[in-house]
Structure 1
């Protein structure tokens, strides 16, 4: 196995990260491996995203919640901490870009969890 070292600017990294997340990949590595070699990502985030959006619909108007609050304890426990953070990054990107509507980004708490409000 070969290791490739690739030096890019902060701006290039941000753009590449944005593209990866927009296309539904959790990491730049997953995105590059899939787009260039057809390798499947470690996790398909489409189902957790669908679950998140369905659970948001069932929340009361003006309800405050975290991503974690949209999953049962057993569903949340299946995801690794890295997968949870990645799902959170995908969701906030989709909220900011307008791909997920009906919720508003609020503050982060002391545990660095992002809070949202249903509009």
Structure 2
């Protein structure tokens, strides 16, 4: 599995309605941890933009968590 926007979008389809998640939850822990911080932050920004423009009927943006990560909910 690669760490990219399309993989994140595809993984959302596997979530149940009402499930809350952060972008990092869409990937295996060891894969996410191997990606440089800058690329992870960029992916988070791209995913937020995708939610706001294309996925807003499937995913809802919630507040950030205590680790300052954006939390989403699958509708």
User: Could you say which structure has the higher helix fraction?
Assistant: 1
Q: CA RMSD in A?
A: 1.3
Kindly name which structure, 1 or 2, has the bigger radius of gyration based on alpha carbons.
Answer: 1
Q: CA deviation at 1:77?
A: 1.8
1:106 to 38, 48, 62: 62
Query: Is 2:71 the partner of 1:115?
Result: yes
Matched residues, number: 72
Moved >4 Å (runs of 4+): none
> Which digits, 9 at most, give the CA deviation of each residue in 1:14-70, with x for residues without a partner?
xxxxxxxxxxxxxxxxxxxxxxxxxxxxxxxxx611111121100111100000000
Q: Compare relative contact order (CA 8 Å, sep 6+) and give the higher one, 1 or 2.
A: 2
Structure 2 gaps, min length 5: none
Gaps of 5+ in 1: 1-46
Answer 1 or 2: which has greater strand percent.
Answer: 2
2:68 counterpart SS class: coil
